[in-house]
């Protein structure tokens, strides 16, 4: 049975009109959806070093017991000082504003689910978003372990993480799977350029610590591709 239409998110905006959101994230990347195009502009990464503030991003501040409960769209978010890191794509600059984490991973690759995923959210001068998604798998220690060494409590102070080499958050190779999607949390705004990279490793202890905080997970289910193409751009 074809049920795809009913899984779309439909929002009533002021009752005046209905906007159907159909380019939603995350997705399951299938072989059939991928097209390779080495001719597309490369993603140029210019990440420096910075002191970060790891904060708990709340979604239930209006609830009396909110400090003790985990909303599925809450997360740990590292705020990046403006100017410390940016990417360029076709001459347009997108500044890294924050990066945050989901467990389990939101994007799937041929159905595979990784234990965690990191989203690095960038914005250009007119507020358009470009997000880099990096699946996190258990293995060798990495810079991500340093960022998540101490988690910020939901109703407590932020954690300062000093002198982070932001470039080492990403895999060495910057090959990307690109597609047009959305925020994966309310309000699910579309027009987000997604760049999915190969994975990074983190220790089992870091995954366990994060899962302990978000015992029920903080990931959105995969959304229909709905005819979208995922373009692979090989890069060294």
Backbone angles phi, psi at 118, to 5 degrees: -110, 135
Verify binding: residue 193, Zn ion, rule CB under 5 A.
Answer: no
d(CA 221, CA 75) in angstroms, rounded, equals 16
Residue nearest to Zn ion (CB): 119
- Across the chain, how many H-helices and E-strands are there? 2, 17
CB of 91: closest distance to Zn ion in angstroms? 26
Which string of x and - marks every residue 114-153 that binds Zn ion (by CB under 5 A)?
Answer: -----x----------------------------------
Closest CA to 145 of 131, 120, 165: 165
E strand or H helix at 204, and its extent?
A: helix 204-213
> How near is the Cβ of 99 to Zn ion at its closest, in Å?
9
* Residue number with CB closer to Zn ion (108 or 119): 119
Three-state SS at 153: coil
Q: What is the closest distance, in whole angstroms, from the C-beta atom of residue 119 to Zn ion in the complex?
A: 3
Q: Nearest approach, Cβ of 112 to Zn ion (angstroms)?
A: 18
**Which region among 2-10, 54-62, 112-120, 135-143 touches Zn ion (by CB under 5 A)?**
112-120
28 vs 40, beta carbon nearer Zn ion = 28
Q: Which is nearer to Zn ion, 119 or 178 (CB)?
A: 119
Beta strand 9-13 with 176-182 is unpaired
Q: Dihedral through CA 134, CA 137, CA 140, CA 142, nearest 10? A: 30
Interface contacts to Zn ion, rule CB under 5 A: 119
């Amino acid at each position: 049975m074809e049920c795809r239409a009913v899984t779309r998110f439909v929002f009533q905006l002021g009752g005046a009109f209905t906007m159907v959101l159909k380019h939603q994230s995350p997705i399951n990347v299938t072989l059939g959806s991928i097209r390779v195009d080495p001719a597309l502009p490369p993603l140029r990464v210019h990440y420096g070093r910075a002191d970060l503030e790891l904060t708990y991003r709340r979604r239930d501040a209006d609830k009396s017991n909110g400090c003790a409960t985990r909303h599925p769209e809450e997360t740990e978010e590292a705020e990046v000082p403006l100017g410390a890191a940016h990417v360029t794509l076709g001459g347009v600059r997108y500044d890294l504003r924050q990066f945050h984490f989901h467990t389990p991973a939101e994007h799937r690759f041929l159905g595979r689910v990784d234990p965690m995923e990191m989203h690095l959210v960038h914005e250009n001068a007119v507020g358009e978003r470009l997000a880099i998604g990096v699946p996190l798998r258990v293995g060798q220690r990495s810079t991500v372990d340093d960022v998540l060494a101490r988690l910020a409590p939901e109703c407590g102070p932020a954690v300062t993480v000093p002198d982070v080499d932001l470039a080492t958050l990403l895999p060495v190779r910057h090959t990307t799977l690109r597609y047009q999607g959305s925020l994966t949390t309310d309000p699910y705004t579309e027009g987000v350029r997604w760049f999915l990279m190969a994975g990074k490793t983190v220790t089992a202890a870091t995954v366990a610590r994060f899962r302990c905080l978000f015992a029920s997970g903080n990931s959105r289910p995969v959304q229909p591709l709905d005819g979208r193409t995922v373009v692979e751009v090989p890069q060294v």
